[in-house]
Amino acid sequence: MLRAALRLTGPDWTRAVTHCLHPSRRWHSHNQSTNLTRSYSNQKTSPALQQFSSRNSFASMEDKEALTEPIHIGEKRTCPEEDSEPTAKRARVQDEANGSHVTKPKEEDEELEVEEEEEALVGEEGEGESFADMMKHGLSEVDVGIHKFVSDHKGFSGILKERYSDFVVHEISKEGKILRLDDLSVPVETEEASVEVEPTDCQALTEEQKQQLADLQLFRNKEGNVAIEVENDSKEKRTLLHKAVKTLYPGLETKTEEREGKKFIVAYHAAGKKALAAPRKHSWPKNRGSFCHFVLYKENKDTMDAINVLSKFLRVRPNVFSYMGTKDKRAITVQEIAVLKISAERLTHLNKCLMNFKLGNFSYKKHPLKLGELQGNHFTVVLRNISGSDEQVEQAMMSLRDTGFINYYGMQRFGTTAVPTHQVGRAILQNNWTEVMDLILKPRPGAEKGYLVKCREEWAQTQDPEAALKKLPVKRCVEGQLLRGLSKYGKKNIITAFGLIPRNNRLMYIHSYQSFVWNTMVSRRVEAYGLKAVEGDLVLRGGTAHVLTAEEAEKQSIHDVVMPLPGFDVIYPTHEVGKGYRDLLTADNLDIDNFRHKVRDYSLAGAYRRILIRPSDVSWEVIQYDDPKVPLIYTDVEKLENKPVPVYLKEGKYRALKMEFSLPPSTYATMAIREVLKMDTSIKNQTQLNTVWLN
């Protein structure tokens, strides 16, 4: 069980679990008003909070009834007989670009939201509901169709992401190489390519001037500029000085001014449209590739936030960056990024002024990166304070290596509140726009940001979009965008108003419904036929879906079997579980034969997804340690800085499972860990487990 030392009560416990469940949010209860503050910018938190910071505590659930009872899918449904002759259609093989976790994309020109605008949660001990009580209203795995396991080992408990450094992700390039940050040097170019050789240092700058420029770059200079006298310098020397300042101190611009009859080069922070202007084209060497590719190492930042930070320091728009997939926030991640016409010299100087970032492995290429080009992600994960015996761990990991896990969509696909995203998606597909508006804006039980609570209450009382919108300090959330649309177009034009929500966010809802249907039907498929291919299953051949005959099924591996996400351009299995798609969709007032929506964006072609995923490059070891804060993974940056390798004890107070594995795109590492530990990964369940253990 948990260490006896972990004793948090009252607001400390509430804040710790709040941070655990979503590090980028501060929550608020309907009947609580006291605001608390907390710090989570890095791992240097108070000892008590550090113990619980962003952890997910998992326990065995193999004895739960949900796993032994037959799987029920919503209402009681029958499977009427129907003639469904299998016809081969061109497959749309699902290949989302975000690696192993789905993250809502942001608009390219969207600025980072200021955290200070968000209200904090949770009052004093004894005021209203506890956080665990509020999370009782959240989703559990069975609510989104996740029911089954493939292995028969006994589950055990463990703690995931006790520290964000316990979860390390390395992107796998389209060539199949695991990307690592191992070189911070600037690439050496041939003389022909080096039309513009930017200086790495300038002797004309004094140490005092260098310090002043460094302070200016980090906004520590009260004057707002640094003036360097160049009265007696030649034009060539002034040009060199201009380049040196811009190269050595990214974010600064320079100009020549006359002050009191003398010439000065004045360094200042660029601002406004000029700051966002593209780099001067004439200064880029013709023989150099237009895109600088580099490996980005980041800690505790999601990919879009990282891109926004880089773009601000480099004074370019975020859309000059490209990448193959988005990565977790609560983790250490390594991925390839490409940027248009920004030199490696400028990029490498960001290492001096950015915290929790490192850029390296620079190269110039003629092409950007595209979403989905990656082959997958390699994970290094530490589960701390495990309860299982070495035999249990061995059995669990061998099953993961040899058989794999059910390729469910993870809980992050469906949201964390009492109104799951797939319900909104179902209403969109039903063309029930009043329900779409109601589901997004109505008050809901559970934990939520304070200003959203007030906004929802105002909407419920007045149905006035302008009055509800005034309650939101952050207007770019989904609720704010919808209310702005309703204010502009009126409540009789909900479709148009809903269109003000960014397209990717709107599509997230209907894709969530597809995911719910897929999870539910795959659970039924595993329940009915187990882990073998059967007559009527689907496999992909040359990119086209093919229905297996009884003879073919005997020779086919379960790892080749796919199940469709519903849409107008897929076929369905011909066995009883395949027919269950029609029953489920009919019960949801949807026509399986007509997934073309009158709004083109919401038409669903469908796709195919493998039932089982078998990770590659699987390895593991059980580690013993005494200090709960000791790092247990040796990161790329620690290797570059020649820091000592973590030392594992032969006998320690606690045990941890360190595992490594690689997954293809659009698969969830949490579902692989779920299979190992035999646990429910929902926030609802994890919060309840933490509360029980603490009590």
Catalytic site residues?
A: 328
DSSP per-residue string spanning 283-325 = GS-TTS-SEEEEEEEEES--HHHHHHHHHHHHTS-GGGEEES-
Q: How far apart are alpha carbons 678 and 674 in whole angstroms? A: 5
Q: How far apart are alpha carbons 688 and 656 in whole angstroms? A: 22
Q: How far apart are alpha carbons 404 and 80 in whole angstroms? A: 33
Exposure letters 376-392 (e unless 16+ CB within 10 A, then b): bbbbbbbbbbbebeeeb
User: Which amino acid appears at position 544 of this protein?
Assistant: T
Q: How far apart are alpha carbons 400 and 614 in whole angstroms? A: 7
Please say whether the beta carbons of 597 and 429 come within 8 A: yes
Q: How far apart are alpha carbons 176 and 200 in whole angstroms? A: 34
Polymer length of the chain: 695
Q: How far apart are alpha carbons 138 and 492 in whole angstroms? A: 31
Closest C-alpha among 150, 151, 148 to residue 520: 148
Q: How far apart are alpha carbons 157 and 2 in whole angstroms? A: 9
Q: How far is CA 457 from CA 206, 441, 453, 463, 656, in A?
A: 61, 9, 6, 10, 45
Strand partners, 294: 337
What lies within 8 Å, CB to CB, of 237 at 6+ separation is 204, 230
Helices (H), 500-653: 503-529, 550-555, 576-587, 636-640
- Give the distance, in angstroms, between the CA of residue 42 and the centroid of all CA atoms in the same chain: 18
Q: How far apart are alpha carbons 337 and 179 in whole angstroms? A: 11
What lies within 8 Å, CB to CB, of 435 at 6+ separation is 427
Q: How far apart are alpha carbons 89 and 606 in whole angstroms? A: 11
Strands 332-340, 167-172: pairing is parallel
Strands 357-365, 291-299: pairing is antiparallel
Closest C-alpha among 462, 457, 456, 461 to residue 482: 456
Residue linked to tokens 């609570």: 453
Q: How far is CA 354 from CA 471, 525, 620, 661, in A?
A: 34, 49, 33, 30
Q: Is 140 exposed, middle or buried (0-12, 13-18, 19+ CB in 10 A)?
A: middle
